[in-house]
Structure 1
């Protein structure tokens, strides 16, 4: 699946210590362990996830289990989101200023927009370089995008090109700048940089109308299982 391949490549590029096998990808970060299933979950996989990182939050991306199925992972909360792909093709040119980030200070602006605009509670309060360290600027395939409104950082996202498709991640607009077309501008700039490739993403319900308007279509529903920490330090 296009999204699974791209996400696995993106995470292993960012975290070389990530554990990857034919069943799943595991990425351990401070406070959170991210798991992406690469095959339908088995009893062995469920047991393995249940024993992971007992002092951390565990998030499992699962594109195999039906959203209507009984809960797979114990003690977890499930949220369903669509996986969407867009075929190659030129987008509408961005109507607002969008830059590709090339230096650490601008990266910090983009990172704050993503963390606060999405928002990501587990990354609050925002700490520079906690989510996107400056080394992403030197990683092959990584690109970070930032849109401005009257000179202020307002919307941002990052993309990862695995050589066959480009994944879009963390597209967000700060609350005070929403409904001005800035998310569309960032997405348009990212697509325009690789119009020859398929784009793939996981959409929130808030973002889905924009993606559909930009030519993305749902290919599968993904279930995100979130398990809170079980043990305290």
Structure 2
């Protein structure tokens, strides 16, 4: 669980950087946004009363349960990253301005998709201030000039969390996510993420290993 805690601490720090109302209730982290609450158990928290409205509660300590989404937590130790040579027509870079951030936001919201943010109102999923917040970096890949894949990372000072890695359906199978992540991963810190089952083989190739699992309780 120590390695899984790398992810839990990073996620709490990341949401703290965004949340207008943040609190720690014993082992339970809570960030309250307009119309949505994020909860993370940083240690065994026992029964948690669901808040009103939309919420997501990440619990890496509870047992599997019917009806819950249970996903692997993966951690990559510090170490060199084998660069992935982009295929012809593919470019990857860090988002630097508000206009391109809106493009990256749409790729991530539509690529999963993330119903909570649909229809997309620019800045609702990724507000423009993330471009100037310490630790935040947003990444975008283009294929033949079209926005095709995206992700963001958050450096909490001791580790980097990787979030919302996605490739749009029409561009999958072209190595975009691997190219993007090889640019985003630093060799100097551990990195953590919660993997989809489809994404896990890619992350294993990049040096991530499963350290635990997290139950996602949610209501949209």
Taking structure 1 as the reference length, the TM-score comes to 0.86
Shift of 1:26: 1.5
- Larger mean Cα displacement after TM superposition, 87-96 or 140-149: 87-96
> Residue deviations 1:70-106, cap 9 Å, x none?
57xxxxx411000000011222224241111110001
Q: Tell me the number of residue pairs that the alignment of Structure 1 and Structure 2 aligns.
A: 212
Give the equivalent residue in structure 1 for 2:145: 151
Tell whether 2:54 aligns with 1:57.
yes
| TM superposition outliers: structure 1 runs of 4+ over 6 Å | none
**Are 1:87 and 2:77 an aligned pair?**
yes
1:147-167 Cα offsets, whole Å, 9 max, x none, are 000111110000000111100
Q: C-alpha separation between the residues in 1 aligned to 2:103 and 2:38?
A: 25
Question: Equivalents in 2 of 1:120, 1:139: separation in Å?
Answer: 23
Q: Report the alpha carbon displacement of residue 196 of structure 1 after superposing the two structures with TM.
A: 0.7
Q: Secondary structure at the match of 1:18?
A: strand
How far the C-alpha of 1:16 sits from its partner, in A, is: 4.1
Indicate the residue corresponding to 2:7 in structure 1: 3
Give the Å deviation of 1:14.
1.4
Query: Are 2:170 and 1:173 equivalent residues in the alignment?
Result: no
2:218 maps to 1:226: yes
Question: What is the aligned partner in structure 1 of residue 36 from structure 2?
Answer: 32
What TM-score comes out, normalization by structure 2 length? 0.91
For structure 2, the 5+ residue unaligned runs are: none
Distance 1:151 1:19 in 2: 43
Rounded to whole Å, the distance in 2 between the matches of 1:29 and 1:174 is 27
Structure 1 unaligned segments of length 5 or more: list them.
72-76, 229-233
**Partner Cα distance (1:207, 1:169) in 2:** 12
Please tell me the root mean square deviation across aligned C-alpha atoms, in Å.
1.5
